[in-house]
A and B are shown apart, each in its own frame.
Chain A
Amino acid sequence: MTLETILFILFAGIAATTSVLMITRSNIVIAALFLILNFGALAGLYLLLNAQFLAVTQVIVYAGAIMVLFLFVIMLLKPEHERSIYKIPGMKIFAFAIAFLVFVQLAYLILFSSSSEKVSPDVQASINAGTIETIGRELFTNYILPFEAAGFLLLAATIGALILAKKKIE
């Protein structure tokens, strides 16, 4: 086994275990903790695929910023009464059915679909594609319009959140 395979198995194992642990914990803060670990393992997988920038942004944005916000909400609201959702009759069977369906779909896709033909055999090209220089140049030249549109949407969302949070603006 090469070093890459060992690392892949390690990160993939952590990602799979933590995601299962996350949805089975009854304590919501512990669940959040496992989700953070999961994001960390995903960042490791991105690094193995030569996507440095994606890996670091995964940690900064998801593990660092969004999860802090989640924790913030959990700690301030103390959502203890959410547990009653498990008491609805038939909920468990419904959940199992959905989960099984998604599992079958994923297994089918992985086992029976043809492998992508667009994968480039050139390793150097994939290393170059993941660097921050390439991503920055692409974002500000070829993809400037979607980039600006996303920025504009986020600005609108920020203003909307401000108006919703503040009942009356002086």
Chain B
Amino acid sequence: MTIWEILGFALLKILVIVSIMLLTVSYLVYFERRISAWAQNRLGPNRVGWEGILQPFADVLKLLLKEDIVPYQANKTIHTLAPIIALFVAFTTYAVIPFGPTINVFDYSIPLVVADVNIGILYVLALTSLGVYAVTFAGWSSGSKYSLLGGIRSSAQMISYEISMGFSIGGVLLLAESLRPLTIVETQGQWLWNAWIQPIGFITFVVSAFAETNRLPFDLPEAEPELVGGFHTEYSSMKFAGFFLAEYANMIVASGLIVTLYLGGYNIPFINIETLGLPAWLPVLIYISAFLFKMAALLFFFIWVRWSIPRFRYDQLMSLGWKVMFPLSLINIIWVAALIMIFNL
């Protein structure tokens, strides 16, 4: 392939992924509201279109038309920059998550991932570590005490849980012997998913992912009862929507990561599709839908947890992160290393 073909395919994949993500994000908000209504025995948004199916568009229109207020005490540049950083981090992280196997179209062999890099997992860790800045800068630049407290809380929270997240990934890397996401998916095979082999690592990673995305029960940076709205108290209009979009995009990225690292990616357990004698284009579609199905199930789990579990207190959050999750992820690494020694996996 020449450089222009590579660039063209990359641009095409970026366009498809970003537009799908934007659409999914807006519908995720709708589903969150419907599921929360179902969990609390309410109706939820059901007026705009059939069963409220057009609600996301009404929401976006409302947010776009609202007045954008920047507080007098705020630092205007950074105040505007913060939601941009949040969106940048949320959308660029998805680049290394594979959503299907390598396909062959017109003599081209195209991996179904935007950037097939061999340090993919480190890339994810690097970008998530930059995600802290969005919240921290938003809190500091607003010139409000509630925002500042929210920002400081969140930087402490995200740093703490980043550590257990990184160490949980260690177990996966030991088994896959690679940092390339496609290789990690391939080594898990049909049913030997990392979630079965290293359940402790799976749990610590999922919990840390909840904390990294600031979802309940870890949404201390927002914590409405104590901090009004936390880091985004002073944000309105499209800048507020930026944080909102970033939170849901982060959820998508987190579920994509969990599927890739622990739930076998696009693999389907027990059924070998290649031997069923289907037409050549069908297996790829089945693989992609398997990946999307796993992701949808995880997204439902994210929303389900939010409406089932109350928020932690701040000291509980910290002691959970450092005294429970961190040692557990270390134990997981020892467990995986022992498995490799005994069974030569």
Q: Which residues of A contact B (CB under 8 A)?
A: 27, 29-30, 33, 36, 52-53, 56-57, 59-60, 63-65, 68, 71-72, 75-76, 131-132
Contact = CB atoms under 8 A, between A and B. Distances in A.
Interface in B296-331: none
Contacts of A132: 119, 122, 179
11 contacts: A29-B78, A29-B137, A53-B119, A59-B129, A60-B125, A60-B129, A65-B129, A71-B155, A75-B148, A132-B119, A132-B179
B142 interface: no
Nearest to A58: B126
B136 interface: yes
Which interface residue of A56, A64, A75 has the most chain B CB atoms within 10 A?
A64
Interface of B: 75, 77-78, 118-119, 122-123, 125-126, 129-130, 132-133, 136-137, 140, 148, 151-152, 155-156, 159, 162, 179
A29 B74 CA distance: 13
Nearest to B132: A68
Contacts of A65: 129, 159
A29 B156 CA distance: 17
B129 A63 contact: yes
B233 to A, nearest CB: 16
Contact of B126 (A33, A60, A72): A60
A68 B155 contact: yes
B126 A64 contact: yes
Nearest to A29: B140
Contact of B151 (A56, A59, A64, A75): A75
A36 to B, nearest CB: 7
B126 to A, nearest CB: 4
A43 to B, nearest CB: 8
Contacts of A56: 119, 122-123, 125-126
A63 B132 CA distance: 11
A124 to B, nearest CB: 15
Contacts of B119: 52-53, 56, 132
B152 A76 contact: yes
Contacts of B152: 72, 75-76
A interface, over-half SS = helix
A60 B148 contact: no
Nearest to A72: B155
Nearest to A56: B122
A53 B119 CA distance: 8
Nearest to B81: A33
Contact of B133 (A36, A57, A60, A75): A36
A27 B77 CA distance: 12
Contact of A60 (B118, B122, B137, B140): B122
A30 B76 CA distance: 12
Which interface residue of B77, B130, B152 has the most chain A CB atoms within 10 A?
B130
A16 to B, nearest CB: 21
A1 to B, nearest CB: 15
Given A30-B78, A36-B133, A75-B152, 18 more contacts: A29-B78, A29-B137, A33-B137, A52-B119, A53-B119, A56-B119, A56-B125, A60-B122, A60-B125, A68-B129, A68-B133, A68-B159, A72-B152, A72-B155, A75-B136, A76-B152, A132-B122, A132-B179
Contacts of A60: 122, 125-126, 129
Contacts of B151: 75
Contacts of A72: 152, 155-156
A63 B78 contact: no
B202 to A, nearest CB: 23
B35 to A, nearest CB: 33
Closest 6 A/B residue pairs (Cβ)? A64-B129, A59-B126, A56-B122, A60-B126, A56-B126, A52-B119
A43 B184 CA distance: 25
B72 to A, nearest CB: 17
A72 B153 CA distance: 10
Contacts of A57: 122
